[in-house]
Amino acid sequence: AQTVTQSQPEMSVQEAETVTLSCTYDTSENNYYLFWYKQPPSRQMILVIRQEAYKQQNATENRFSVNFQKAAKSFSLKISDSQLGDTAMYFCAFNPPNNNDMRFGAGTRLTVKP
């Protein structure tokens, strides 16, 4: 069974600082996709960043970057220059190709403090 684990239920960071959210997953698949989604109090699940497992290069989207370690089955999210608007629940998700039963972790609640 494919599972996603987020071991940090809550984290906080000072505005303008850097924070890293952890995610590990379990799968026997070789090709798959990994995602980080952000869910603010408004409830809308927003795609933050996506990584294809066959790509060795870590994905980057502005202040958001990932550290993808395929052998270790680890997929952490780094947020640089944290902003108050980054306060939200962050979910790590796993999706094998052609199988749309996307699996989510339990989430990490991130608070950015002024």
The site for another protein (CB under 8 A) is made up of 4, 33, 35, 37, 42-47, 50, 91, 93, 95, 97-107
Q: Which one, 33 or 80, has the nearer CB to another protein?
A: 33
Q: Which one, 80 or 103, has the nearer CB to another protein?
A: 103
How many angstroms separate the CA atoms of 59 and 77, rounded?
A: 10
Q: Please give the structure tokens belonging to residue 87.
A: 């306060």
Give least dist CB 107 to another protein, A.
6
Give least dist CB 40 to another protein, A.
11
Residue 106, Cβ neighbours under 10 Å: how many? 13
